[in-house]
Amino acid sequence: MAIGLAETLLAASSDMTRIHRRVVQVGAVASWLAAAVFLAAGFLGGDDALFIEAVGPIIAAGFMTALIVLKRENGGLALFGAAVVTMVMYTVVGNQDTLLPAALALVIICAIGMLLIETHRVVTVVGVALFLAVAPLFWSLPLVEAVQLGVVMTLAFVMTSAIFFTIRNAATALNVRFQTLFENSPTAVMEEDWTEALAYVRSEYTGRPDRIRAFLMAYPAVVQRAVAQAKIVRVNQAAIELLEADGPEDLIGYRDGAKVTEETSEAFVGALVALYEGRPSFEEDVRALTMKGRPIWLQTRGVNTSPGSTATSILIGLADVTHIKARQEAMADLVKAKDEFIARVSHELRTPLTAVIELNELAE
């Protein structure tokens, strides 16, 4: 949850769709789990009140699941819906012991929901504030206490939202500068997500960590399937030009596992081993083809910017080293030619020299 909130604060507008989807998915799973806990406790303890309390999580889970099925994931809408369900459920089954937790939950849910609202923020803030002000009036409280609680909840929501907005605006302004640097960098850069690829490798290999490279080199099919689950999230203009693509849509998406050949397998294995071992960076040279089919040597430098042992954000810097590889090959050919020349000359000189030495020995 903390990581999700941090990503929300720091995300650029292009990331918001993914964040909305994640918030709704996590909310749906959490709600279904909460409902299951209430139902299981009700069955085991024979307490009918727990069945009633399970209705709220079930409604929230159903609402969020519907958003996922309809592919209209909106984190703000999902959280505000959860707030309404919380208010209604407290009206039905709440008591004095759960009053403060319910009020605090409403304030927090609504404040976080405001972070995910992109348009009509002022109208939304006013609407949510009014909702929090009148919610206690339905909670069977004395009128004075209900009004006081409503005022406190409204003020807490406004202050919390103001703090969140300030942090988000400052963080977003900072993040925009980094986004600009990414987009306008003269160096070709790609952001990739290797989470699924790494999870697949871990599901296939459970042996000693120091033997992971040998395993992957022995089973190229595993490497192909793993690479096919790596996803290119974004690319900058320099990468598009380097790889001779017509646009970012030619590059963004899951990688093609068929491109893991005998020539490129070692480079992909190196990247997978580095991520498997949790190394923060890795470097590999790989022979590839541009989108127009031109062979090219790429020097790839990857940096894992993900938290913990995940691989959700890998920044890959690309450099065209074809001319360097050509020079190295030419130098290798030159050294080989020199060795062959010396060997040939040595052979040609050895025969007459042998004869001279033999004559010299006979003369003595």
* Domain CATH number, residue 290: 3.30.450.20
Q: From CA 110, how far away is CA 124, in angstroms rounded? A: 10
Whole-model pTM over 0.85: no
Residue 61 CA from chain centroid, whole number: 25
75 and 16 within one domain: yes
Phi, psi of 120 (to 5 degrees): 50, 45
308 and 242 within one domain: yes
Render each residue's pLDDT in the chain as its tens digit; 364 residues: 333 434 444 444 456 777 888 889 998 999 999 899 989 988 888 777 788 888 888 999 999 999 999 888 888 889 999 999 989 888 888 788 788 888 998 999 999 898 888 788 889 999 999 999 999 999 888 999 999 999 999 999 999 988 888 887 777 777 677 777 788 888 999 999 999 999 999 999 988 989 999 999 999 999 999 999 999 999 999 999 999 999 999 999 999 988 888 888 888 999 999 999 988 898 988 888 899 989 999 999 999 888 766 788 899 999 999 988 888 778 877 778 777 777 776 666 566 656 556 556 655 5
193 and 136 within one domain: no
Separation in Å, CA 225 to CA 83, 133, 234, 266, 326: 43, 55, 21, 15, 31
94 and 74 within one domain: yes
Q: Within 10 A of 132 (CB to CB), how many other CB atoms are there? A: 25
Residue 174 lies in a domain: yes
200 and 61 within one domain: no
Residue 94 lies in a domain: yes
Number of structural domains in the chain? 2
| Residue 255 CB partners (closer than 8 Å, separation 6+) | 227, 228, 230, 231, 232
Residue 274 lies in a domain: yes
Residue 284 lies in a domain: yes
166 and 241 within one domain: no
Residue 332 lies in a domain: no
18 and 160 within one domain: yes
215 and 110 within one domain: no
196 and 267 within one domain: yes
189 and 179 within one domain: no
Pick the closest to residue 117 from 165, 70, 72 (CA basis). 165
